Amino acid sequence: MKKIIYIVSALVLMAGSSSCVGDLDQYPHSTYTANDVFTSADGYQQVLGGIYAAFIQRISSVSSESRSQNYLRTLIMFQDCSTDSCDPIWLSGETLTDVNGLSWTASNPWCSAMYYHIYNIVAMCNDFIRNASDESLLSRLDEDGRARVEEYKAEARFLRAYAYSHAIDFYNKMPFVTENDGVGAYIPTTYDRSQMFDFLTGELTGIAETLEVSNYGHATRGAAYTLLARLYLNAETWTGEDRYTDCISACKEVLKDGYELEPDYRKLFNGDNHLRAMGGSEIIFTLACDGTKTTTWDATTFIVCGQVLDGFADAVNIWGNDGANAWNNLRARPQLADIFEYGDTRNLILDYDRESNGDGTYTETARSKDITAHDDATTGYRIAKWTNVTDDGEASSFCGEGGGANTDFPVFRLADVYLMLAEAVVRGGSGATRSEALGYVNNVRERAFGSAAGNIGDDDLTLDFLCDERLREFYLECIRRTDLIRFNKYTSGYNWQWKANAQEGTDVDSRFRFLAIPEAEYSVNPETQTINNELGF
């Protein structure tokens, strides 16, 4: 059983926006009042738990899709399924053709879902921060209660920054609202990326030292500095100003907190991976999933079960999908299958089907690496990176109706900090040497190969190598699209199978480095239409 259970209160899960960001600061909508809920530190904790839960639970008023996909599932679609990492089979069934092919418009439901999920989190955080700053409410609490609420407020500021980090990643310009904006319908301020970058780096710098060093399932000091490092690493892409030296400094702040690489890569993504998110372990910040308390078809249940394709006997032993049939959705693109070197244990790609012989033995037959058609689940290699299997090899939870995977989603890991620092050095940042950078890269590779057999030399430490290494290490972890854009390989210059909905892959217009803001926003915030028009949407 996980040590933290997200309390999903009605007041939080009723939050959302089905139309305009001009109304963002009115949310969350519910029948509660501040006087009812914020009567104790426990009341604040309950509401904060609901904000965490909003990343992994479905919020029906946010997505226009009938399935109401959650924040994490929507993020996976853009960050992995629109890249060389993963190919989704359910194109027509979930209107994913335009996401898979990088051809979306302002009417695309997945673009709408991503936008409203981001701003739903922002709205909930703004509401929480406002109430956590209200002296008329805080006056009811004793000294210890006020201290707890101050800590919770810092966590809410981190969660808002995390959501806004996706806004700066996906949009060239975006609405900006905080707890200081009025409640009610209005047209919010528009920020460009430089303005949002300044706000986010200021926020994270301001709260990092107030967060705990170790707190499973919660924002920590290391999480704040890791998010800062990610912002600084992408600063040149987003603002035109390189901040690689600052990235190195932020990474070194994370390293002060004593995280260590998990020796077994597979255990970072299994049903007991919460054990790798405790103090001193590799996972710096995780979205906690509990198959009995936070049941959902989304979050890691979608990733685990989505990888299971028909034609694999006793799949539960590999994926731990107890109670769930093959979902037939997520498979490896050939570019992912080909990126691994011999002996790399991160290669959790299966190139075969498996049929039971009825006597405890199996017959394995090769699959086609090429994806011949999206409605044909018999082609394309399988992915077995994410599982719901315990360290002891058992299914961690029931994944059928009313259940879900116990597997947490690691948002930030130490391996990312190592590779971000190395990349910042290669890109010219100061504060660490190439020798240090090489050492961190080889730490990651020694874990992958089980020895120094996969270590590289200084001449091998190039940007092209790091781009490939990040795919090997972080596929299906919601970061690949951002990486490809930073390496100038997303819309042109590098292609993968079915990019632009062509089997051989082809370049697309540079506007697809961004998502379109939903056209439903035009009538209430004309500036959003101007933003889309500037990009060609």
User: What percentage of the chain has pLDDT greater than the value 90?
Assistant: 83
User: Which tokens belong to 455?
Assistant: 């270590």
d(CA 50, CA 178): 19
Of residues 2 and 98, the one with the higher pLDDT is 98
> To which residue do tokens 């201290």 refer?
147
User: Which tokens belong to 193?
Assistant: 């990326």
pLDDT of 66 over the 80 cut:
no
d(CA 86, CA 76): 9
DSSP 306: H
What pLDDT is attached to residue 374? Answer: 81
Arithmetic mean of pLDDT, 74-96 = 90
pLDDT of 324 over the 80 cut:
yes
Q: Give the pLDDT band (50/70/90) at residue 279.
A: confident
Of residues 9 and 151, the one with the higher pLDDT is 151
Tens digit of pLDDT for each residue in 24-56?
A: 333 344 445 777 899 999 999 999 999 999 999
The torsion region of residue 324 among left (phi > 0), alpha (psi -120 to 50) and beta comes to beta
Nearest to 185 by CA among 460, 523, 449: 523
The torsion region of residue 493 among left (phi > 0), alpha (psi -120 to 50) and beta comes to left
The pTM assigned to this predicted structure is 0.94
Q: In the chain, how many H helices and how many E strands? A: 20, 10
Lowest mean pLDDT among 8-12, 178-182, 220-224, 485-489: 8-12
CA-based R_g, the chain, Å:
22
Tens digit of pLDDT for each residue in 405-453?
A: 999 999 999 999 999 999 999 999 999 999 999 999 999 999 999 999 9
Lowest mean pLDDT among 36-40, 237-241, 380-384, 466-470: 36-40
> To which residue do tokens 């501040």 refer?
34
Arithmetic mean of pLDDT, 472-481 = 98
Sequence-ordered strand ranges (E) for 405-459: 409-413
pLDDT of 11 over the 50 cut:
no
Other beta carbons within 10 Å of 42? 10
Other beta carbons within 10 Å of 46? 18
Which domains can be identified in the chain, with CATH numbers? 1-197+504-537 (1.25.40.390), 211-281+414-475 (1.25.40.10), 289-407 (no CATH)
pLDDT of 62 over the 70 cut:
no
Q: Give the pLDDT band (50/70/90) at residue 63.
A: low
d(CA 277, CA 286): 7
d(CA 300, CA 441): 28
Are β-strands 173-176 and 352-356 bridged in parallel, bridged antiparallel, or unpaired?
A: unpaired
pLDDT of 9 over the 80 cut:
no
Tens digit of pLDDT for each residue in 139-165?
A: 999 999 999 999 999 999 999 999 999
